[in-house]
Amino acid sequence: MDKKIIGIIIAYTLIMGSLLIATFAGQWTPSGYDYSIEGETLTIEHRSFSGGEKKVNVENRQADALRFYVALSAERQQWRIDVMISALILPFILLLFTPERRPFKEQISLKWYTGIVAAIVIIYLSYTIPLHVSQVNEIQQYVNVLLE
């Protein structure tokens, strides 16, 4: 193996390792929210620079709490899908830096390969970013309702 391939492997490992650790070990999502339940008390944790925990009694507000759980669960699921898609797309992006090792080099020119990879990334980002924005807004609305 040459140095470029080793560099690509190291870059892939560092990027995906960081994403996987943050997502699965750190329970990180773009919303920054997490929760824990103890009896009738819901603790909403916001992992941001201001951070903090808020405790809410959900004894008579199970429907609001359930909406919050479902919205947060949907955000977590979408983020995990994004991490998996990133794991699939990232090698094609990194192989742009080694044109002699890229796949399909006999069938597709470097310009076409770059265009196809860029189009895939742009299409996926144009789908997932608005989805995350709407999910985070929905979570924030449910948090506001619970904290009233």
For tokens 């080099």, the residue is 105
For 5, 79, 102, 112, 136, the CA distances from 129, given in Å and listed in that order, are 31, 10, 28, 25, 11
Distance CA 86, CA 121 (A): 9
Per-residue tens of pLDDT for the chain, all 148 residues: 688 888 899 999 999 999 999 999 888 888 888 888 888 888 888 876 566 888 988 888 889 999 999 999 999 999 999 999 999 999 999 998 888 888 888 899 989 999 999 999 999 999 999 999 999 999 999 999 988 8
The continuous run of DSSP H or E covering 147 comes out as helix 110-147
